[in-house]
Amino acid sequence: MNRVLRVGVVGLGYWGPNLARNFNQLPGCRLAALCDLDPARLDKMRVLYPDAACYVSFNQMLEETNLDAVVVAVPVHQHFPLGKAALLAGKHVLIEKPLASGTAECEELIALAGRRGLTLMVGHIFVYSAAVQMIRRIVCSGDLGEIRYINSQRLNLGLFQNDINVVWDLAPHDLSMILFLLGSSPSAVNCQGHANITPGIEDVANVSLSFECGRFATVQSSWLEPRKVRQMTIVGTRQMIVYDDIEPLEKIRIYDTRIEHPPHYNGIGEFQYAYHYGDSFIPRLEQTEPLRQMSQHFMECIRSGHPPLSSGERGLEVVRILEACSKSLKTHGGLVAIHPAAEGRRQAPPTNLKRLAHHT
């Protein structure tokens, strides 16, 4: 029988309490410790989880609580120092997105976890959602034809951050989904943005991603939008998908829509296109909480030693793109080439949550 794993959560601001709730509910897991610099946040959590030991000092939590794993949900510039300290203390680590503030930090965390035989995972939550898993299965089935283009929009009012811009805050979600769906990383990036509210911190931005084989993707991120928009369009040569994460049930709609080049055309330059409008179809999705799936997967990977679906390497891929975006922003959208990791092309990801633990 599996031993109960003892988990501590550091960072109990906006997002950390959701992680604490999930780990507290997982079978085979005990929420053993909580940590935040702010004692008022700890007081609130103490009421909900009276059995968890509470700390304002992260190092003290590491020393005193005999944890198996640590979940890091602090501001992004703190991901690396806290993640590194936890790995050095021999803990398995789940770090919220993005994995760290730069590629060098990501590489150090990956190497450290590798040397110590510890699980390092990044909170790319959407790759654990039923909708994105379903889209991935449809993409793998070939029903869409060849994927040519993906557009993703993540827009809302705030939450304004003062240490990272909107690309580092929101785009990791879109980028992790795009890489998961395409099974590859882009070779070049352009990013344009504008700081409307806080000087020097872009609050609206557009990212373009160019992939080998002519694939293309765009990501729009904004903290200056009256509506909450979470939409993605996946365009294949045969069919297209619109994924709307705001929809409670009908999140995915598959359109049998395409543009065809008829074989005959009249004269040079007179191309004709045929617009095919077929049916649309809404597949049924399992009602699962992505955060629960992600937390459970972390526990399974610790037990099995298998690399997580959102491993440190996947975190590094996203941070590599974010760094390229920051470079491109400085030249108002100049093209920045991305050099892939030495590991080469990534493996095709799994299409079934039950088999997540066996893949990178």
Ligand X SMILES: NC(=O)c1ccc[n+]([C@@H]2O[C@H](COP(=O)([O-])OP(=O)(O)OC[C@H]3O[C@@H](n4cnc5c(N)ncnc54)[C@H](O)[C@@H]3O)[C@@H](O)[C@H]2O)c1
Our CB check for ligand X shows the closer of 82 and 131 to be 82
Cα 251 to chain center, whole Å? 18
Torsion over CA: 252, 253, 259, 262 (sign): positive
Q: Which residue has its beta carbon closest to ligand X?
A: 13
CB 353 → ligand X: shortest distance, Å?
18
> E strands within the chain?
5-10, 29-35, 53-55, 69-72, 92-96, 120-123, 147-157, 188-194, 204-210, 216-222, 224-236, 240-244, 252-260, 274-281, 336-337
Our CB check for ligand X shows the closer of 25 and 59 to be 59
CB 79 → ligand X: shortest distance, Å?
6
Our CB check for ligand X shows the closer of 18 and 151 to be 18
Q: Identify residue 259 by its one-letter amino acid code.
A: I
CA dist list (Å): 213 to 146, 184, 338, 345: 10, 11, 15, 13
Our CB check for ligand X shows the closer of 123 and 349 to be 123
Read off φ and ψ for residue 283, nearest 5 degrees.
Answer: -75, 150
CB 261 → ligand X: shortest distance, Å?
41
Interface positions with ligand X (CB under 6 A):
10-16, 35-38, 41, 58, 73-76, 78, 82, 96-97, 123, 125
- Those residues whose C-beta lies under 8 Å from the C-beta of residue 81, and which sit 6 or more positions away, are none
Q: Could you tell me which of 322, 359, 355, 296 has the C-alpha nearest to residue 71?
A: 296
CB 312 → ligand X: shortest distance, Å?
15
Our CB check for ligand X shows the closer of 34 and 324 to be 34
- Those residues whose C-beta lies under 8 Å from the C-beta of residue 85, and which sit 6 or more positions away, are 58, 59, 62
Distance CA 70, CA 64 (A): 13
CB 307 → ligand X: shortest distance, Å?
20
Our CB check for ligand X shows the closer of 38 and 260 to be 38
* Sheet of 336-337, strand order: 274-281, 252-260, 240-244, 224-236, 147-157, 216-222, 204-210, 188-194, 336-337
Our CB check for ligand X shows the closer of 255 and 298 to be 298
CB 239 → ligand X: shortest distance, Å?
29
Our CB check for ligand X shows the closer of 10 and 240 to be 10
CB 13 → ligand X: shortest distance, Å?
2
CB 308 → ligand X: shortest distance, Å?
15
